[in-house]
Amino acid sequence: MFASSSITGLARAFHRKITRDSLVPFCRLAHKVSDISLSATFFKRTLACIACMHKQSYSVSRPLLEVPYAISALDFSLVQRRNMLVAQSNFRKWIFSRYNSNTSVQLKTDSNIIKFSIGTHNGSSPKGKKTTKQVKMSKKAKLNELRFYRLKAKKKMNSPNPEVRIRYKLEKAKRKETWLIEKLRKFEISKAPAETYDPEILTEEEKHYLKRTGEKKKHYVPVGRRGVFGGVVLNMHLHWKNHETVKVICRPCKPGQIHEYAEELARLSKGIVIDIKPNNTIIFYRGKNYVQPEMMSPPETLSKNKALEKYKYLQSLEHTSQFIEKLEKELEEYHRHLARYKQGKTYSSQDFVDNKL
């Protein structure tokens, strides 16, 4: 009688927390009280009562109802073994997460205050630099941004104040100038050290003869807007294969630029400059001991396409610098005009005061 009352009391006390795992102690209690005369029908009735009190967890506790009426030592050992395996697997997971984590707890005693700080083993603080992912802007957002900048520029261009308009144009031109200078740096080629060769000494008679023969012959090498590049030197060597002299015609050519072309071509082709005419024509002599090189186009020169690209950037830079000078002059004139206007206004106010007096 005492055993039946104790079992029903336990069932009522823990009816809210009984699950599949929590019924194991109950089974152990039943195994311990096996010495007491406990009928099978009463044990079955008690389990049925517990299942009715927990209809929501009936599917969980259903395997326990299938336990035989009298729990044997073999069944109890199987349940105990299964619980031990579950506990061991949970302990292994805890050990793995404990010893494989990079966090460490440090004790700090700054200004007589004890603090615990959690950080990595390497000593790096959690407040390090965070790598922020660049969010891609949508097409609509890009269009809105461009529209904003266009409206801002339009507002400055249509400003009633002439100083605002001039300063906006000046800033824009200076930005373009810096961009062009950076682009032209890509076309800079390091000049190779000049090879030592014996310069041929020509007499005045030889120079006069070569000058006359070079003027009479019609073959020539053009130097256009691309300037001096590898193709010009190649054409000079091809002409020197059959002729002693060759004419180089530079068009268009700025004043003073013809001498730069002459020095550059003499260095690259190792020829001798005979004469420079006022119509931007240079006559070159190949030399007495001329040998055609294996590589007729020097490696330290630009290609045809790159030379044209460089010319475009140079032309744009020249026009931009001229435009900047023009804007700076306009700004100076505007400031002078303002100074004159203010000065005249002060003089007129002084005259008005003198007349009243």
296 vs 235: CA distance, rounded Å? 9
Assess whether 254 and 343 both reside in one domain.
Answer: no
**CATH code where residue 261 lies:** 3.30.110.60
Are 41 and 178 part of one and the same domain?
no
In a domain, 74, yes or no: yes
Domain carrying residue 41: 2-93
**Averaging pLDDT over each range in 13-27, 28-42, 171-185, which range is the top one?**
171-185
pLDDT in tens, 199-226: 678 888 999 999 999 999 899 999 999 9
In a domain, 141, yes or no: no
How would you classify residue 347: left for phi > 0, otherwise alpha for psi between -120 and 50, otherwise beta? Answer: alpha
Q: Is the peptide bond before 252 cis (omega within 30 degrees of 0)?
A: yes
- Assess whether 285 and 220 both reside in one domain: yes
Q: What is the distance between the terminal CA atoms of the chain, rounded to a whole angstrom?
A: 131
Question: Residue 339 half-sphere exposure, CB side, CA atoms within 13 Å?
Answer: 6
Residue 327 burial (CB count, 10 A)? 20
Out of 162-176, 192-206, 297-311, pick the least confident. 192-206
What pLDDT sits at residue 76? 59
Backbone angles phi, psi at 284, to 5 degrees: -110, 145
Same domain? For 46 and 77 the reply is yes
pTM: 0.54
Residue-wise pLDDT for 220-243, tens only, equals: 999 999 999 999 999 999 999 999
Domain assignment present for residue 341? The answer is yes
In a shared domain, residues 179 and 220: no
Residues 347 and 208 in one domain: no
DSSP assignment of 211-268: HHHHHH---EEEE-TT-S-HHHHHHHHHHHTT-SEEEEEESS--TTHHHHHHHHHHHH
Read off the pLDDT band of 130 (50, 70, 90): low
Asked, for residue 101, whether it belongs to a domain, the answer is no
Banded pLDDT at 197 (limits 50, 70, 90): low
The tokens for 23 are: 């019924």
Residues 295 and 212 in one domain: yes
Domain check: are 264 and 353 in the same one? no
Would residue 17 count as lying in a domain? Answer: yes
Structure tokens at 76: 């109890």
Question: Does residue 195 lie within any of the structural domains?
Answer: no
* Assigned domain for 147 exists: no
**Domain boundary, last residue among 45, 68, 93:** 93
Question: Could you give the 3-state DSSP secondary structure of residue 285?
Answer: strand
Domain end call among 53, 68, 93: 93
The mean-pLDDT minimum among 95-99, 109-113, 246-250 falls in 95-99
Same domain, 333 and 252: no
Question: Locate tokens 């000593």: which residue?
Answer: 123
Q: How many domains does the chain have?
A: 3
Asked whether the predicted pLDDT for residue 186 surpasses 70, the reply is yes
39 has pLDDT over 50: no
Question: Is residue 256 within 8 Å of 245, Cβ to Cβ?
Answer: no
One-letter amino acid for residue 288 of the chain: K
* Among 51, 78, 93, residue at a domain's last position: 93
**Residue 317 and residue 269 share a domain:** no
Are 6 and 87 in a shared domain? yes
105 lies in a domain? Answer: no
**Together in a domain, 293 and 211:** yes
